[in-house]
Structure 1
Amino acid sequence: MNNDFNSLKEDIKSFNIELSTKQIEQLDKYFELLVDWNNKINLTAITEFDDVCKLHFVDSISSAKFFDFTKRDLSLVDIGTGAGFPGIVLKIVFPNLHVTLLDSLQKRISFLDEVISKLELNEEGSIKTVHGRAEDFSDSKKGELREKFDIAVSRAVARFSTLCEYDLPYVKKGGHFIAYKGDKGIEEVDEAKNAIFLLGGKIKSVDEFNLPNSDIKRTICIIEKVQNTSSKYPRKAGVPQKKPL
């Protein structure tokens, strides 16, 4: 291992998390694969090691400051996972999670499948990839993943009102949707109050903070699923983004 993870380990300590040697090795391999594949397909504009650690790895783990991922057998779906943030990182740090990574681009799915294989993350089938659009697998008539998960997460995907229609249909009643937002998170949640209500959600918490040892502002928004989502939602592919609730 050629990379120095001391800064990342210090950052993660602020979330009361200690990373094992194995977890550091997995993150190191993840970084190497990310940079290698990024030469072939566009995964991220962030490729410098320190920036990946802070802006992808630490950012992905930051939700653990506000939500307990340590309960056994929690199921989590990462909608619009892209290069695997936050889903892959959360799986590394919390091996107990049963993770589904959903993305609309097959090339990214191929990258994620290699990451899962090379990092040996798939013990007992506890992580898998799904190729498709968010609206496809939570449809009320044929959506095989509708209301199947304890947790749905999304990071850097869409405005919050649109995200709610993407994510909340996947969440079981009593589960949670966790959105990673920037410094406009509170404003976006306020705009999305109608969408949250219509989709069966209730605002549990909205927390603004800086990433550790930086002035980079982030917001973690947690929505509790208090009612089953109406069969009217999600609307057909493309509509949630064009016409947010």
Structure 2
Amino acid sequence: MEHRQWLESAAAELGISLQPHQLDQFARYYERLVEVNKTMNLTAITEENDVYIKHFYDSLTLAPLLPAESIQSLIDVGTGAGFPGIPLKIAFPHIRLTLLDSLNKRVTFLKELAEDLGLEGVEAVHRRAEEAGRQPRFRESFDVATARAVARLNVLSEYCMPFVRVGGIFAAMKGAGVLEEISEAQSAISRLGGGSIRDELLSLPEGKGDRHILLVQKNQPTPKKYPRRPGIPAKQPL
């Protein structure tokens, strides 16, 4: 089965209907990713089948859990090559998407990619999460803050929770072995205004691995002292 046909079918199983122009956007995304990756380290995964499963499909697994149809704004923290933010934006064009990364070269790539794919309502921001999380235009202004494989959960929560509005969701996309992370992060998440951690387990197709999506609803505003200054969350986790 052709990759675009496979993605169309796999997305349908998630309840996502991808139209031909959206499948074209994913195909172009793959082309640009591989092309730019020759001169910039965007991803270690470049084989087409693996990109479609481990990047595109994996990103879309978040959609039915949010649910994506009802959210208006999402920030992807430490987005790297644009995962999961860009695939979610392709599938749900109404989402106002902010892509945050600390490396300017990646941010430049993402700006060019969004223009190339014809995506509107996408902002790529070159800034550390600890800095952006204190800025009024970003702080507590998103329905969802998400990140994929950026840091351990107790650190990641301090990066992401300040962006989430009260009533919104912090969604951490993780690989296997997260039970220890969950137990060590609950105190931090509570201090940052979050509730209990919901762990959704799924397996990628073709035996490509297990994934955990950790979902936290924000119940109270994050105290003004968080996030702490750059580098401190990683050195001294809550």
For structure 2, the residue ranges without an aligned partner over 5 or more in a row are none
Partners of 1:23 and 1:92 within 8 A in 2: yes
Q: How far apart, in 2, do the equivalents of 1:193 and 1:104 lie? A: 26
2:3: which partner in 1?
4
CA distance in 2 between partners of 1:184 and 1:56 (Å): 20
CA distance in 1, matches of 2:232, 2:136: 17
Secondary structure of 2:145 counterpart: strand
Q: Distance in 1 between matches of 2:208 and 2:74?
A: 29
Indicate the percent of aligned positions where both proteins have the same amino acid.
44
State the match for 1:199 in structure 2: 192
Q: What's the Cα RMSD here?
A: 1.3
Distance in 2 (alpha carbons) for counterparts of 1:146 and 1:215: 36
Partner of 1:87 in structure 2? 85
State which of 145, 150, 156 in structure 2 corresponds to 1:157: 150
The structural deviation recorded for 1:66 is 1.8
CA distance in 1, matches of 2:96, 2:157: 21
Change (3 A) 1:49 1:215: closer
Report the 3-state secondary structure (helix = DSSP H, G, I; strand = E; otherwise coil) of the residue aligned with 1:197. helix
Tell me the amino acid that sits aligned with residue 127 of structure 1. V
Larger CA deviation: 177-186 vs 81-90: 177-186
Deviation for aligned residue 1:89: 0.7
2:128 match: 133
Deviation at 1:54, TM superposition (A): 0.4
The equivalent position to 1:179 in structure 2, one of 165, 172, 178, is 172
Question: Please, which moves more after superposition, 4-13 or 224-233?
Answer: 4-13
Offset, 1:185: 2.6
> Match for 1:218 among 207, 211, 214?
211
1:115-142 Cα offsets, whole Å, 9 max, x none, are: 10110001xxx11111010001112xx4
Residue in structure 1 matched with residue 114 of structure 2 by the alignment: 116
Secondary structure of the corresponding residue to residue 89 of structure 2: helix
**1:165 CA displacement:** 0.1
CA distance in 2, matches of 1:22, 1:223: 33
The count of aligned residue pairs is 237
1:100 to 95, 98, 101: 98
Q: How far, CA to CA, are the matches of 1:79 and 1:105 in structure 2?
A: 12
Report the TM-score when normalising by structure 2.
Answer: 0.96
Q: CA deviation at 1:4?
A: 3.2
Q: Distance in 2 between matches of 1:143 and 1:235?
A: 15
More helix by share: 2
Which residue of 1 is the match for residue 68 of structure 2? 69
